[in-house]
Amino acid sequence: MTGSSSQAEVRPAPSAWFILRVWLSIGLQSFGGGSATLYLIRRAAVEQYGWISDDEYVRNWAICQIAPGINILGLVILIGWRLAGLLGVVLSLIGLLLPSVTITILLTAAYASIQHLALVQAALRGVVPCTIGLGVVLAIGMARSPVAESRREGRMSLLLSGLIIVGSALLVWFAHAPVIAVLWGAGGVCGLAHWCGLAGKTGS
């Protein structure tokens, strides 16, 4: 059973060793930057093991967006706390960071001696489109839950969600608006719309 549905059953908390093993696996596979890591976290926490629902994942990620610091680590902390409190946080952070930091150090040392090779440069040019593709897959997966919820609430809510998605992208891309301003602004718009009764109501 996948956890893509917002109503997916959340399974009981796993053992400490299992938590550590899953995060170690994610850390070992976290190649390609933030989007690849987020995709792996979502696939494990939501789809494979049902630790949290799709809605919870999206909400947790939204919380991390408006908080300072490294967003992915914030997400790991929230999931770890949900699983086993402080122990879950420690195990999750160790599992994610230990292999990825070790691999990064080794790769950096190796790259310093081969970075000028034409074959290496050609290979790196193929990595960037791949990470973009992973980012697109992640964005589509994360968009399903809020879009489905907006659709249930009615056309006005769905329209508002679409406008925020497009408007946020345009503000950052063309106006170079500060990300924190866009995030807080989007939250304020949705809050105001809900308060005015323009969103959150079902109907045609």
How do residues 160-199 score in pLDDT, each as one tens digit? 888 888 888 888 888 888 877 888 888 888 888 778 776 5
Angle between the 34-42 and 71-114 helix axes, to the nearest 10 degrees? Answer: 130
Q: How many domains does the chain have?
A: 1
Three-class HEC string of 141-172? HHHHHHHHHHHHHCHHHHHHHHHHHHHHHHHH
In a domain, 195, yes or no: no
Q: What is the pLDDT of residue 110?
A: 83
What count of Cα atoms within 13 Å lies in the side-chain half-sphere of residue 18?
10
Span 33-53, pLDDT tens digits: 678 889 899 999 999 999 999
- Report the amino acid identity of residue 10: V
pLDDT value for 198: 62
pLDDT at 8: 44
Residue 108 forms part of a structural domain? yes
Q: Is the whole model's pTM more than 0.75, yes or no? A: no
In a domain, 11, yes or no: no
- What value does the mean pLDDT take over residues 96-120? 84
Residue 10, domain member (yes or no): no
Give the rounded percent of residues in the chain with a pLDDT score beyond 90.
Answer: 29
Establish if 47 belongs to a structural domain.
yes
- Give the sign of the dihedral formed by CA 136, CA 35, CA 141, CA 199: negative
Q: Is residue 200 part of a domain?
A: no
Q: Is residue 131 part of a domain?
A: no
Domain of residue 87 covers 16-116
Does 148 map to a domain?
no
CA separation for the pair 88, 84 (Å, rounded): 4
